[in-house]
Each structure stands twice: as C-alpha cells, then as structure tokens.
Structure 1
Amino acid sequence: MTETTLPGFARLGLVRAGYELKQFFREREQVIFVFSLPVVLLMLFGSVFEGEWDGTGVTVAEVYTAGMIGAGVLAVSFQNLGISIAMEREDGTLKRLAGTPMPPASYFLGKILSVLVMGVCELVLLLTVAVLLYGLELPSDWLTLGWVLTLGLAAGCLLGIAVSSLPRSARSASAVVTLPFLVLQFISGVFIPFTELPAWLVNVSSIFPLKWMCQGVRSVILGPGGESLEMTGSYELGRVALVLGAWVVGGLVLCLITFRWKSRRDG
C-alpha cells in the first residue's frame, strides 16, 4: 500500500494564501473599507490643508501620504489579522484546522503572504492617488521603503496574531483591536506632526512600531526637507531598523505565548 505524501508546508502556505485572498476579495464591503479609508483620509487632509508645511519645502499632501502609507500597511497586517483570526477562532475555523494534517506554520504563512499582497496593493493605491491628485514625485529610494515596510508589516502581522487572543468574542474583536490602533495613529505622526504633540505623548508613541514605520516612510517620501518635522531633526534610520526588528522578535514571542486555537468557551 502506497503512503500518501503531503505537500511541504511552504506549498500549503501558498495554497492557503490564495484561499485567504479569494475570501478577502469576495467580501466587497471589507475590501472597500480596508483600501478606501486611508485614501479617503489622504484626500480629505490633502484637500483641506494645502501648500507647504510650515516653510519646510515639503507639501502637506506629502506629509499625509507618508503617514497614510505607514498606517495603511499596519492596518492590513495588525488590524486585519487581529480581527479576522479572532472571528475564525470564534466560529470554530481554527479548531477545525488544528485537527487537519496541515502544519500550523502553513496557516500562518498563508495569512502573512495574503497580508503582503494587500500591503502592496495599499501602497500602490496611495502612491497613485498622491501622484495623480497632488503631484507627488515617486520615491527614488525604493530599497529603504522596502525594508521599512517589510519590517513594519512583519511586526504588524505577528502583533495582530498575538492580539487576536485578547477579544472575549468575535463581536468585541473590532473594538478591542481598532480603538487602540486609532489612538496610536494620532500620537504616531500619522495625522499630527510630532512638533505639535506634547513630549510625553511622543515618548509613549516611541514605544510602538507605527511611529517608526511612518518615520522611515517619511525619509523616502519627504527627503531631507522633512527632517525638521522630526523631534531629533533626523530620520534616525538605524534606530528605525532596530526598533522595528525588536518588535518582530517581541511579536513572535507574544504569539508563542498567547496564541490559542480554541475559543474560551471551548476551554
């Protein structure tokens, strides 16, 4: 009798990623919300606040484009995974998957790869809007933009997986995940530059990855002219890499400690 050999975890992860993307894009309301919110906010802020930002030589639209890219990428990773995994745990999807031969690593790989595709779509969409409506010049330093968003996306995915265990039910998942993320955007330089924030709020935001993601993206979008908007007068790219890398490691540890396949009612 011939034994059936299961595909490797990477191949299963690719299959799972395809399933995740099909499921996501079939939910039109979810697609519209995830992709349109950063675009709508960029259009609102870019239209209401026109011209240069405090004589820095960079436009308001450029500042908000950088902020929306950082927030948008973290939203499709941290927020999206935190809510969707909590819902899958509640409806029994995770419990059923845990009972299949599919390696757990394939499930998580599928989630991360699908988020990577969504993150690229978000980036392309925001840059397209900024170029067409506000005359933004496409960035030249794609390497820096790439590693900043890759580290930020990895940290966001791992933190989203970890935070998915916090909501007590699927109905509370959106509030538990979205509210702190919304607050974080206001203190991390997405909507308000750090020069306009109290020092203690800047110190709080410096603990979390969103602040450093946006700072790294600003280094590419704004260039040298935008350094005056930073508290230290520098983009501190070395520190950006260090903090985001630390959150990737910390997020992985949190996942290993907190992740559950069953909901609380299942014990």
Structure 2
Amino acid sequence: MGGRARERARGPDRRASDPRGRLPRPRRGGDGAVSGGALLARQVRHELVALVRSPVTLILSVGFPLLFFVLIAALVGDVEVAGSGGVRVAQLVAPGFAAFGVVMATFSFLAYGFSEARATGVLKRLGGTPLPRWALLGGRIGAALLLGLIATALVVGVGVAAFGIEVQTRSVAAVLVTIVLGSVTFSALGLALATVLPTPQTTLAVTNGLVVVLSFFSGVFTFGAQTPAWMSTVGSLFPLEHLVVVLGDAFDPFLTGSGFQPDRLAALATWGVAGALLGAWGLRRTADGATRTTRATRATRGGRAAGVRGRDPRAADARPRRTTRPTVGRLVLDEVGHTQRALWRDPSSTFFAVAFPVVLAVVIPLVNGGGDVELEDGALLGTWFAATMAVYGAAVTAYVNMPESLAEARARGVLKRLRGTPLPLGALLAGRVAGAVAIALWTTALVLGVSAVVFGTGVPPGWSAAAGVVTLSAVCFATLGLAVVALVRSGESVVGVTLGSLLPLCFVSDVFVRGATFPPWLDALSWVFPLRHAANATTTAVVGDAVPAEHLLVIAAWTVAGAAVVAWRFERAEAARRHGPVGPRRPAPSRARRRHRVVV
C-alpha cells in the first residue's frame, strides 16, 4: 500500500487558455473615439426612447394635433368648398393641423424636456461626461424634428385615408423643406424659452399657452372664420402663421407652382436665428450661474457648519400651534387650503385650469362674430361660451389636475407617510375634492366677469344657479378623477386617461363647438357621459331658465358610480395594508423542502 507511487495529476487536455482570447473584437478604433455622426445618432435614439416612455409627451405632441384634425374633419370635412368642383374642406384644414403638430412636437416638447433636464440636474451631470454640448442639443433637436415629421405624416395619412385629401405632387419638396425649416426654427425658440424661464411648470404653461393662443390668431382653429383685423395683424408677426400659410398653399389644389415662398421662409429663418442667439446666450448664462453658485456654496459651507455647531439646539424647537388633537373638519379645511396653495404655486395648473378657460371664453366668440351676437334661444354668444368654459375649467381642475397631484403624491410615498399622521384618508380625499370645487367656483366667477366686461353683456341673470350646477359638476368630475387614480397606477398614465378622455368629449359635448352635427352614434354616445349634461345644464341655468332634471340625475348617477369605485378600491388597499394582500396564498413549504433549501 505505501510502496506504490502516487499518480501524478493529469495536465490539461488542450492548450492553456489565452486571456482575452474569446472576447469580441473592439468595435472602435485604437483610440476609442466615436465619430460625431454616430454620437449624434445615438443621442437622437436616446431622446426618442425617452419620449416613447413618456405617454403624456406623446399625447401632447402627436395625439392632440391628430385628434383635433379628426374631430374638425368629421364635423365639417365632408362639406364641399363653394365653386371648387368637389374639393372638400378637409383638404384646406389639414395643413393647419400639420403645422400645429410640428410646433407642438418641437417648440413645446423641446422646451419642456430641456427645462426638466435642467431642473432635475441631468444637464449638470451630463457636463461631466464625454458627451459634448452640441451632441446633446443636436440629439434633442433631431428627435423633435423626427417627431414633427411623424405628427405631419399622421395628419396627412389619416386625411388621405379617411377624408379624401389629395397630396399635390408639385409641392412635395416645398412641404419637406418648410417642415424641416419650421422644426429647426421652433426648436431654437423652444430652447431659448427653456433657458430663460425658471421652472419646468412655467415652461409648460408658457409654451402651450403661446401655441394655443397663436393657433387662433394664425388660422389653425379659425379656418374660414371672419376674424377681426387686429387678430390677423398680430398673427402675421409670429412664425406660426408663416408656417400655416406655406403648408396651406402647398396643399391648395387651386394654386400652381412649386410651393416655395421665399419671403415667408425668410421670416421663419429669421425667427430661428433669433431663437438660436437667445438660446446660446441663455446657455452661457446658465453655465456661469452654476459656476458662481458652486463657488459660493463652497465658500460658505464652513461658515454655516460653524454656525450650526455654535447654535443652541433648544432655540430651534418649534412651538406647537395646537395643544389638542385637530378635528376632522379642521383637517379637511387645512387640506382645502393646501390644494389652493398648490394650484397657485404651479404655473401650468394655474394656466390650464384658470387662465386658459378665460382666454377661450374671449377668443372663441370673437372669431364667431362677437360676444354680443344673440342666439336663437335668446342667449348671447359670449354668455353661452362663458358658461361652457366654466364647465371646462371645472373639469380640468377636478378631473385632470387634482387626480394627477394625488397620483404623484402616491408615487413619491407621501400617502404612505400620511398614514402615520392624524390625517385620515377620508379627510384627505374630502379636502382635495372640496379644494377642486373651490377652484372651479373661482374660475366660474372669473370667466363670467371677464366675458361681461369684454363684451359688455353685464352679469348674467342666472349666475347663482350656474354656480350651483358647476359645484355639482365639479364634485362629479373629482369623484371620477379619484376613481381613475384608484384604477391606474402611475401618474403619467392617470394624466393620459383623464386628459385623453376629456378633450375629445369637449368637442362633442357642446363645450368647444356649438350646434355641430355629428353622426348619430357619436351624438348618442356623448349623452352618456356627464360632461354634456353639465354643459347644457350650465348654459340653461346661466340665462335664468329652469334646469331639466335629467341633466342633474345623470351627473348624480356618475358621482355615485365614481364614489363606489373609490370606496371599493381604497377599502381593498386598506385591507391589504392591515391583513396582507387579499387572495389565495401559496402553501407553506414542507419541512423537508425547507431543509433542502438550506442545504442548497
């Protein structure tokens, strides 16, 4: 046993492995440099991927222009132009909405995205990477350009397929050149605004407000309307009208030629150069401000630390403002005040919920003959649209803004942390709903007052009854918004559902358009939802007439249905928090299986 020699270990049956022998070959040159074109293409791809992951941006930049075009074309698109030999109105309406899509995809998208990246520190962190500034800006502009082309292609494609639009081959080159030039121009202007405006919310409110208002002044939403001369003069000063006119003439079957208009293209280029210069100045100012802020922070860090060390900790104790537990009513009132303050601190919410309805209540009657035009039922056009815009403002506040803020609070964990406070969930929801109702009433008073002053119609006789209808409608909209929050998880998806359902209903529910003739099935569908009942009840009440009971019953029925969904979902969430998730549980593993898991 001990005398036999031990066997030697066998050697490898093949050659020794070569380090890095199976690694893929390097895809770059020896110095590791990436070409400028490849870097720009990757940045454009990155921006497009980020865009696809943001449904709100897609809805605002691509969905809205297409939706508006489809609704307007379905309303008047089949009407033939007088003396045109069969040319329909959709042929002349489509270019305006194509231009609207280009502006929304470039001006609004680029400005808000850049402002948000600056506010969240993304631009500052990218400054420490090898990515040059020109590639970052070029990627955003390239993504905006592609998005504008997609929006235009969708509008034109749907127009060709559904409404018989004919693309004029004589002006295809002019259309492409104009879209590219317009995209670059509005991208530069959006970048310039993003560098000047302080916050993303302000940027969103200003850009979308400018686009919507200038769309009325530039003939996008007012095609064929007799607008006042001063509106046409103001519209001609801005680049949107030049873009609309060039695209409109390129699609006009009654015109000839290549479609190029050097004077209007030069105006677009001038606005683009001005935007680029202002944007470059804003970027330099932002970089210099960041450098000064960093130096000041480093210089004062030691002094502040010394001050904290020498401070008496008892001096920082806050004196309690209450000595007893607050009542539920007090908590609800505090939540109402919080909702009010949150609105006024958010410029975008303030614009869309308060300022935008006021603007529409003035602009829409102006482009339809004036607010003092008397309708067939005796009401004035300005008063009628003031009532519908009050309903629209209530819907935006209660159905869009309030649910969005609640969903964002849930995503940030605020609702979870509030469970450890004396604020009950019911008081929180009641305060949010009451706050939305208060904002809706503020908007109603402002809309009716501004309309009465601008058009000289005076205070409508049924303003108090109209305020009551708006209150009931706001409660209904808020309840439905809470139901959406209870059923949808993310905040962006909540906005997509609420805003994506509200705007189409505004066109078919006598809010934006009065007396329109829709297909029977669409007209019947609009009467199912509460928005049309709220609009008709408010317009009836504001002139002093009795409100039909069926309108109030439908609003009440939707309120009860939304409250039932909210109670069901939040009860399940509360039960899951207390007793664990509801549903069948997997059986516990046996002792042998647990031992096997430990061994493995």
Taking structure 1 as the reference length, what is the TM-score of the superposition? 0.84
User: What is the CA distance between 1:5 and its match in structure 2?
Assistant: 5.1
Which residue of the other structure, out of 338, 355, 361, is the alignment partner of 1:42? 361
Report which stretch shifted further, 142-151 or 105-114.
142-151
Name which structure has the greater RCO, CA cutoff 8 Å, separation 6+.
1
**Which residue is equivalent to 1:231?**
none
User: What is the CA distance between 1:57 and its match in structure 2?
Assistant: 4.0
The residue type equivalent to 1:31 in the other structure is T
CA distance in 1, matches of 2:421, 2:466: 38
1:251 lines up with 2:570 in the alignment:
no
Alignment deviations for residues 163-221 of structure 1 (CA, whole Å, 9 cap, x no partner): 12344422333222111111111111101235522322221111111111111111123
The residue type equivalent to 1:253 in the other structure is A
**Which residue is equivalent to 2:158?**
none
The residue type equivalent to 2:526 in the other structure is S
Contact (CA 8 Å) 2:433, 2:478: kept in 1 or not? Answer: yes
Which residue of the other structure, out of 327, 330, 354, is the alignment partner of 1:8? 327
Which residue of the other structure, out of 513, 525, 549, is the alignment partner of 1:238? 549
CA distance in 2, matches of 1:53, 1:131: 14
The residue type equivalent to 2:342 in the other structure is Q
The residue correspondences of 1:110-125 to structure 2 (distance < 5 A) are 110-125=431-446
**Which residue is equivalent to 1:229?**
none
Which residue of the other structure, out of 484, 489, 495, is the alignment partner of 1:163? 484
User: What is the CA distance between 1:56 and its match in structure 2?
Assistant: 4.6
SS of aligned partner of 2:458: coil
1:85 lines up with 2:396 in the alignment:
no
Contact (CA 8 Å) 2:461, 2:543: kept in 1 or not? Answer: no
Residues 99 and 220 of structure 1, relative CA distance in 2, 3 Å threshold:
same
How many percent identity over aligned positions?
29
Q: Point out where structure 1 has 5 or more consecutive residues left out of the alignment.
A: 225-234
User: What is the CA distance between 1:161 and its match in structure 2?
Assistant: 0.9
SS of aligned partner of 2:486: coil
Residues 131 and 94 of structure 1, relative CA distance in 2, 3 Å threshold:
same
CA distance in 2, matches of 1:182, 1:83: 16
User: What is the CA distance between 1:141 and its match in structure 2?
Assistant: 2.8
Which residue of the other structure, out of 493, 499, 502, is the alignment partner of 1:181? 502
**Which residue is equivalent to 2:206?**
none
User: What is the CA distance between 1:257 and its match in structure 2?
Assistant: 2.2
SS of aligned partner of 2:459: coil
SS of aligned partner of 2:475: helix
Residues 256 and 170 of structure 1, relative CA distance in 2, 3 Å threshold:
same
> Considering only CA atoms, is the larger Rg found in Structure 1 or Structure 2?
2
Contact (CA 8 Å) 1:87, 1:173: kept in 2 or not? Answer: no
User: What is the CA distance between 1:111 and its match in structure 2?
Assistant: 0.6
The residue type equivalent to 2:432 in the other structure is K
CA distance in 1, matches of 2:353, 2:492: 18
CA distance in 1, matches of 2:479, 2:535: 18
SS of aligned partner of 1:241: helix
User: What is the CA distance between 1:54 and its match in structure 2?
Assistant: 6.2
**Which residue is equivalent to 1:132?**
453
Residues 117 and 147 of structure 1, relative CA distance in 2, 3 Å threshold:
closer
Which residue of the other structure, out of 446, 455, 462, is the alignment partner of 1:141? 462
Contact (CA 8 Å) 1:166, 1:176: kept in 2 or not? Answer: no
**Which residue is equivalent to 1:101?**
422
The residue correspondences of 1:57-96 to structure 2 (distance < 5 A) are 57-96=378-417
CA distance in 1, matches of 2:357, 2:464: 23
SS of aligned partner of 1:165: helix
Residues 92 and 223 of structure 1, relative CA distance in 2, 3 Å threshold:
same
Which residue of the other structure, out of 330, 336, 352, is the alignment partner of 1:17? 336
Report which stretch shifted further, 137-146 or 73-82.
137-146
CA distance in 2, matches of 1:80, 1:207: 23
User: What is the CA distance between 1:133 and its match in structure 2?
Assistant: 1.0
* RMSD after superposition: 2.4
Residues 243 and 171 of structure 1, relative CA distance in 2, 3 Å threshold:
closer
User: What is the CA distance between 1:236 and its match in structure 2?
Assistant: 5.6
SS of aligned partner of 2:565: helix
Contact (CA 8 Å) 1:70, 1:217: kept in 2 or not? Answer: yes
CA distance in 1, matches of 2:462, 2:449: 17
Contact (CA 8 Å) 2:403, 2:481: kept in 1 or not? Answer: yes
Between the two proteins, the alignment pairs up a number of residues equal to 250
CA distance in 2, matches of 1:163, 1:28: 24
SS of aligned partner of 1:138: coil
The residue type equivalent to 2:350 in the other structure is V
Residues 57 and 16 of structure 1, relative CA distance in 2, 3 Å threshold:
closer
